[in-house]
Amino acid sequence: MWTFIHKLGSPPWFFGFSGTLVRWLLPVTVTLLLVGAVWGLLVAPPDFRQGNSYRIIYIHVPAAVVALAGYYVMAFAGAVSLIWRIKMADVTMRAAAPVGAVLTAIALVTGAIWGKPTWGAWWVWDARITSMLILLFLYLGVVALFEAYENKTAAARACAVLSLVGMVNIPIIYKSVDWWYSLHQPASIKFTGESAIDSSMLYPLLLMILAFYCLFALTLLLNMRAELLWNHRDSGWLKQLVGDI
């Protein structure tokens, strides 16, 4: 286990490992997304109150769930980078930020589209929507902050601090439906006990959540590989790799 973690910090090893992983993840992600989308759009029954508009759930909820999970990845990488000064942690943090931003934006946009036929409005300043909007700004803030600094070591440190401070927002998003009067319903899927959603709707939803997790891992790895290729363009291991192929 420790040797594995130790290896993750080594760019040449990571580059080879992520290359193999990406070759598997790409077809798996595409297949899961397509199967999940067809299942959710065409096979699952309509909701008895919302009709067919509820089908947006199959992209809205997975995007939101993984946007939140992605923030943990980014903040954790930021903490590792601050404490141990590991370069690979910086790369991970920076690769996660744009992915998280896109997923949060998808959750907000699909939520707005779903809100129109369901609540009668594209946008309301509901506690959960507002806290998700803050999440989007945090992700974009990390991207922008890194670009703002000339000194990239200082930039990485500032981004790590920002992402750690932003962690405060995560429990607020989770608890927003319980703490405030919200248009969002409380959680329907529970790890313990009966879920308040029929299995004919639950299975495609779980499949789509899995698909979005795979997508997050895939795009994170791709961004990291692109970054590593450029950062290590003068390294011996990379020159050897290019020469071998």
Partner 1 sequence: MYFESLAAVWHMDGHGFYVWLAYALTALPLVLMVWLPLKRIRQHWRWLQAEQRRSAAATQSTAMGSDV
Which of 106, 201, 205, 207 forms a contact with partner 1 (CB under 8 A)?
A: 106
Cβ neighbours of residue 214 closer than 8 Å, sequence gap 6 or more: 25, 28, 29, 32
Rounded least distance, CB 201 to partner 1, Å? 11
End-to-end CA separation in angstroms for the chain: 31
Which of 81, 92, 104, 110 forms a contact with partner 1 (CB under 8 A)?
A: 110
Region 80-99 residues binding partner 1, contact defined as CB under 8 A: 99
**H or E, element range at 34:** helix 11-38
Say how many C-beta atoms besides its own lie within 10 A of residue 91's C-beta.
22
Torsion of CA 134, 32, 73, 12, to 10 degrees: -140
Rounded least distance, CB 154 to partner 1, Å? 24
Which of 97, 102, 160, 209 forms a contact with partner 1 (CB under 8 A)?
A: 102
Region 38-77 residues binding partner 1, contact defined as CB under 8 A: 41-46, 51-53, 55-56, 59-60, 63
Rounded least distance, CB 54 to partner 1, Å? 9
By CB under 8 A, tell whether 230 contacts partner 1: yes
Place of tokens 């930039």: 155
Rounded least distance, CB 110 to partner 1, Å? 4
Nearer residue to partner 1 within complex by CB, 158 or 222: 222
Among 32, 46, 97, 47, residue whose Cα is nearest residue 67:
97
Rounded least distance, CB 192 to partner 1, Å? 30
Cβ neighbours of residue 37 closer than 8 Å, sequence gap 6 or more: 58, 59, 208
Place of tokens 């923030």: 71
CB of 207 within 8 A of CB of 199?
no
Region 114-173 residues binding partner 1, contact defined as CB under 8 A: 114, 116-117
The residues of the shown chain that bind partner 1, judged by CB under 8 A, are: 26, 33, 37, 41-46, 51-53, 55-56, 59-60, 63, 99, 102, 105-106, 109-110, 113-114, 116-117, 215, 218-219, 222-223, 225-226, 229-230, 233, 238-239, 242-243
